[in-house]
Chains A and B, each alone.
Chain A
Amino acid sequence: MAGLEIISDQGYRIDGRRSSELRKVCARMGVFTQADGSAYIEQGNTKALATVYGPHEVRKGRGKIQHDRAVVNCQFSMATFSTGERKSRPKGDRRSQEMSMHLRQTFEAVIVTELFPRSQIDIYVQILQADGGNYCACVNAATLAVIDAGIPMKDYVCACTAGFIQDSPLLDISYVEESAGAPFLTVAMMPKSEQIVLLEMNSRLHADNMEKVLDLATQGCKDVFAVLDRHVRDHVSESHALMTAS
């Protein structure tokens, strides 16, 4: 990977983006009929699908019941065909378990769980194609799905990565940039209040550069929010038009 040039002299990245540019975000809400809420998102070549069931009564494990709030249950999986090499285990390995846990923590903090005591909300997320920023795609897809299910949240929760390569911060890094071994930061935040819900960092980053990267990631989350919000509004006005037409 050493010979690979992540940023060209002209300041373009491998896929032709500028350093503070997001990949193209495409989203659709309400892709399944059985689920209470569902969404599909594409962030560049990363594709994720999310479904939400609930709030419903707590199924397996009555011991999990919380008398004052809802239990959030998350499951992350990666399709066997999502990566370059076929994945033998779509879920249940350490990385997926960790991802499931992070998703759960994120949505526990954002969903107003106090409104649904003694109940459970299930969020299932699957990565169909992995090209960097899996966690972000999952969070964004799950946000849309939760909105689609009509479950109240404090705010949208948007996630974005930011890396620091060749002394410059890069937004929304792809798989190639990720595997170059440079540090990158994953942030999930509520864009309006700029409150960080989850923060994760890999590799080595000097503390002085932290602020720059964090600022860029914050900006990225806000950009993602703008896109998601537009999709939600489009979706709602579309379904409203359909309902009034009939």
Chain B
Amino acid sequence: MKEVPMSTCEREFILKAIRDRKRIDGRQTYDYRRLKVSFGMERGCCIVDLGDTKVLAQVSGKIEEPKKNRPTEGSIIINLELSPMASPAFEPGRPTESGIEMNRILERNIRDSRAVDTESLCIVAGEKVWSIRADVHVLNDEGNIMDAASIAAITALSHFRRPDVSVMGEEVTVHSPEDRDPVPLSVHHMPVCVTFAFFDQGEFLLVDPNRSEERVMDGRMVVGMNMHREICTLMMSGGMLLVKEQVLRCSQIATVKVAEIIELIQRALDKDAQARQAGEKCGFAESVPTNKITTNRKEATAIDTTAAAQQASQVIQEAGPVDKPMSNMLVQAPGTVQIGEGLVNTWDVDDEDMESEEKEGREKSVTNGREAVATSKPTERKRPVKAGEGTVSHAEGSDSEEEETVMLFQGDDETKSTEEPDSTALMQPSNSDKPAKKKGKKKKAAQK
């Protein structure tokens, strides 16, 4: 199936964003997408997630006759498979031009830079050598297959263990893993590719282009580099022209990126080695239930919350201390719970404000008699609790609903009042000159 061409409007949008130094997925110019390296159950199996791009590499080895001109060297074969599963643009059958190019870059990056020692793969010179094959399958193409594939290939090669072999005279014995521990390949260095996408004839440069950026770009440059700042492969092609400075700049950026990536790979390898040693579960089967490798999960997106956090802390500072939380449930009998009655209203915040205003008002401009009432209140409040009289309501005009609650109350007067001293006490202030409406919301008890 031919790929649906990108609309001019989308293309312009992406290009304009790039000219404004923005990327459609919110990354910075030199940012990689989230990179994740996971391993399979078997040795030499590695899955790399780069954002939504997913690549699997599996390494296998077999014994065969060496090439005539290199009798003491084993061979490394790297095969990149672009299956139609990854993208509708990939046709089954013969590899496409871009597929061949990528495969060659991989080969040059890993084999031609002698990342894996081929001489140690020799068993009997001229007769038997190990042939190591790395199959790299692209599972999902969301852009930048090259980097993901190179990471997957070199990680899988480092993760792989080949069976140990011993030679006794003419006889060659391949030991099973139970017999002797399989041996790792000798990986001298880990070359990793970094892809740069160029736009506007090389004026703008992006690291790790995603799929839509790849479709808009003029051309790309792939820099394969290892930890020691050695360039293992360099490939620039496509219908664009660059000057020397841009090439050198890319190699500098690649240095930084490669160091980060290799550190991540190393950590993943170490973690896997530890897990294997400890006999923990590892591999795909283990990853599926924990949603490690399935795509039915959404990565948490990083959101800048500093502004919101600032605002929140400001609100908290201004708000002052919070009232003590009070139990606002009352268990009447097993299975029945009462809420509301006899408790303070926490919803009606300005209720208290009003009360305090009222209080203030009272305190300022009242007669002595009233003041006396105010001062006497605390005692009044505690009274019902101490006396165990139950809640006392001074409400006028109670309606039928209230009557019902009253009925409920009477049986349990004692327990209730002891259990809820706070609420009864707090509720008291509202007794005097409250409008009937508000009181209606509050709880009442039976008049004794």
Contacts and interface: CB of A to CB of B under 8 A. Distances in A.
A108 interface: yes
A213 to B, nearest CB: 10
B166 to A, nearest CB: 28
Contacts of B108: 202
Given A198-B236, A200-B236, A201-B231, A98 B104 contact: yes
Contacts of A97: 97, 100
Interface in B204-249: 221, 225-226, 228-244, 247-248
Interface residues of B, number: 35
B236 A202 contact: no
A196 B247 contact: yes
Contacts of B72: none
B229 A195 contact: no
A137 to B, nearest CB: 19
A190 interface: yes
B4 to A, nearest CB: 15
B248 A200 contact: no
Interface string B411-425: 000000000000000
B251 A210 contact: yes
Most A CB contacts (10 A, CB to CB) among B104, B114, B252 go to: B104
A195 B241 contact: yes
B150 interface: no
A214 interface: yes
Given A105-B238, A207-B251, A98 B100 contact: yes
Nearest to A181: B114
B127 interface: no
B248 A94 contact: no
A206 B238 contact: no
B104 A207 contact: no
Contacts of B112: 202-203
A102 interface: yes
Interface in B250-307: 251-252, 254-255
A211 B255 CA distance: 15
A210 B101 CA distance: 23
B144 interface: no
Contacts of B238: 105, 109
A206 B255 CA distance: 11
Nearest to A206: B230
How big is the A interface, by class?
20 to 34
A199 B236 CA distance: 5
A207 B108 CA distance: 17
A211 to B, nearest CB: 6
Contacts of B234: 185, 199-201
B235 A195 contact: no
Contacts of B225: 207
A206 to B, nearest CB: 5
A197 interface: yes
Contacts of B221: 199
Contacts of B226: 204
Interface string A95-121: 101100110010011000000000000
A109 B97 contact: no
A218 interface: yes
B53 interface: no
Nearest to B236: A199
Nearest to B191: A204
B103 interface: yes
Interface string A71-103: 000000000000000000000001101100110
A109 B112 CA distance: 28
Contact of A202 (B100, B228, B233, B242): B233
Nearest to A155: B241
Contact of A207 (B114, B239, B244, B252): B252
Contact of A204 (B232, B235, B247, B254): B232
A88 to B, nearest CB: 14
A194 interface: yes
Contacts of A185: 234
Contacts of A101: 97, 100-101, 237
Given A196-B247, A203-B112, A207-B225, A109 B236 contact: no
A194 B233 contact: no
Nearest to A95: B104
Contact of B241 (A109, A183, A210, A211): A109
Given A94-B103, A101-B100, A214-B247, A109 B240 contact: yes
A210 B234 CA distance: 11
A200 B240 CA distance: 14
Nearest to B248: A211
B113 interface: yes
A204 B244 CA distance: 19
B100 A201 contact: no
Contacts of B247: 196, 199, 210, 214
A35 interface: no
Contacts of B252: 207
Contacts of A211: 244, 248
A201 B109 CA distance: 10
Contacts of B243: 194-196
A205 interface: yes
Contacts of B248: 210-211, 214
Interface in B108-142: 108, 112-114
Contacts of A9: none
Contacts of B236: 196, 198-200
15 contacts: A97-B97, A101-B100, A101-B101, A105-B237, A105-B239, A108-B239, A109-B239, A194-B243, A198-B237, A199-B236, A199-B242, A204-B113, A204-B230, A214-B244, A214-B248
Q: Which 7 A-B pairs have the closest CB atoms?
A: A201-B234, A195-B241, A199-B236, A204-B230, A207-B229, A109-B239, A105-B237
Given A102-B237, A105-B238, A202-B112, 20 more contacts: A94-B100, A101-B100, A105-B237, A108-B239, A109-B239, A181-B114, A183-B231, A195-B242, A196-B236, A200-B236, A201-B233, A203-B113, A203-B114, A204-B226, A206-B230, A207-B225, A207-B254, A210-B247, A214-B247, A215-B244
